[in-house]
């Protein structure tokens, strides 16, 4: 079997040689004209997201944050009568650099999520390299097959899923597909069809979650809850996609009853999709709901993935 570092090198090389020009050499800061022309956000001019080294004090802050969140998840599982380990922690890594993310992984995080395609590409090379050094596979890199037909990572089973959790414009699909293995922010049949075409062209299967705007807030993305079942059933028919579940963002209110109602409705929608037994929906199991401020409420209502950033990494210096 080939060494994992070799697998990672092959995967990185395939990205660098790809028609979408995904990975570029990153110097101090970013200073990348290709990404600048691609509406790169301002904070990327001030922080080197490819940085792999952080100081001991910062590493301890992140490690402590991970442990506190894992404890919160375990406590919420117990209070809700859920099985231990039934809820997965996804570290939301918006504005965090490679060193910060790897510290969270070393502390026990086993799933990461990015909001912006630009950040996916800025960090991909460093994350792949660092994961390979630890014997892990990351995101879509798990699709690499080595001698004998074994999939990379089979030896110890440590794979770090890499999700896109922010909005995805159709012209950015090609940037993220070689790196992420699941897109949580699919909110229309049109977007799903575009991802499907790209996935089929690459000969891959991409996991997707249907994002539903359960709160009805205009500031939030997601499909109308009234249309979610129909859209999910259509997504289930598309080649190159695997419908894995639903995602929502909790209502931005203080009333816990209102927040829980949104989460409960998403769970009911998921259950109705499964009960329909429509081909392609049988794996629609995940409920990605709950963040730093409302994860306990989400877990009580059946969440299987909580997306947490602030409670792990602290407040962001950039939006």
CA distance 226 to 119: 33
Return the structure tokens found at 13: 């090389």
The three-state secondary structure class of 242 is strand
Q: Angle at Cα 247 formed by Cα 85 and Cα 313, nearest 5°?
A: 65
pLDDT for the residue numbered 300: 99
Q: Where are the domains of the chain?
A: 4-313
pLDDT for the residue numbered 156: 59
Name the pairing type of β-strands 241-247 and 286-288: parallel
Element (H, E) at 66: helix 56-79
The three-state secondary structure class of 137 is strand
pLDDT for the residue numbered 10: 55
Cα–chain center distance at 159: 13
Residue 14: which of 143, 116, 104 has the closest Cα? 143
Contact between 35 and 109 under an 8 Å Cβ cutoff? The reply is no
- Whether domain 4-313 has CATH 2.60.120.10: the reply is no
pLDDT in tens, the chain (319 residues): 344 444 456 555 555 554 334 443 333 333 333 334 344 456 667 789 999 999 999 999 999 999 999 999 999 999 999 999 999 999 999 999 999 999 999 999 999 999 999 999 999 999 999 999 999 999 998 544 333 333 444 445 699 999 999 999 999 999 999 999 999 999 999 999 999 999 999 999 999 999 999 999 999 999 999 999 999 999 999 999 999 999 999 999 999 999 999 999 999 999 999 999 999 999 999 999 999 999 999 999 999 999 999 999 999 776 5
């Amino acid at each position: 079997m080939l060494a994992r570092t070799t697998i990672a090198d092959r995967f990185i090389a395939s990205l660098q040689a790809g028609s979408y020009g995904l990975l570029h050499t990153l110097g101090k800061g970013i200073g990348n004209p290709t990404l600048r022309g691609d509406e790169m956000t301002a904070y990327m001019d001030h922080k080197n997201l490819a940085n792999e080294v952080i100081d001991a004090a910062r590493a301890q802050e992140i490690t402590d944050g991970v442990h506190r969140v894992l404890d919160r998840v375990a406590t919420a599982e117990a209070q809700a009568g859920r099985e231990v380990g039934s809820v997965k922690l996804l570290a939301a890594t918006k504005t965090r650099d490679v060193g910060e993310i790897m510290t969270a992984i070393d502390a026990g995080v086993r799933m990461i999520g990015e909001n912006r395609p630009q950040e996916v590409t800025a960090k991909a090379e460093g994350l792949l390299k660092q994961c390979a050094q630890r014997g892990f596979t990351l995101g879509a890199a798990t699709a690499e097959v080595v001698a004998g037909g074994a999939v990379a990572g089979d030896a110890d089973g440590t794979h770090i899923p890499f999700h896109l959790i922010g909005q995805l414009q159709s012209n950015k699909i090609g940037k993220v597909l070689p790196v992420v293995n699941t897109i949580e922010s699919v909110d229309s049949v049109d977007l799903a069809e575009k991802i499907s075409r790209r996935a089929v062209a690459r000969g891959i299967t991409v996991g997707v979650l249907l994002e539903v705007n359960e709160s009805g807030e205009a500031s939030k993305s997601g499909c109308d809850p009234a249309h979610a079942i129909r859209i999910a059933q259509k997504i289930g028919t598309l080649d190159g996609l695997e419908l894995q579940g639903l995602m929502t963002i909790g209502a931005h209110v203080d009333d816990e009853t209102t927040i829980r109602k949104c989460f409960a409705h998403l769970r009911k929608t998921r259950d109705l999709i499964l009960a329909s037994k429509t081909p392609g929906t049988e794996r629609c199991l995940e409920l990605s709901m709950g963040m730093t401020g409302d994860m306990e409420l989400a877990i009580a209502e059946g969440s299987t993935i909580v997306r947490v950033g602030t409670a792990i990494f602290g407040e962001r210096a950039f939006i």
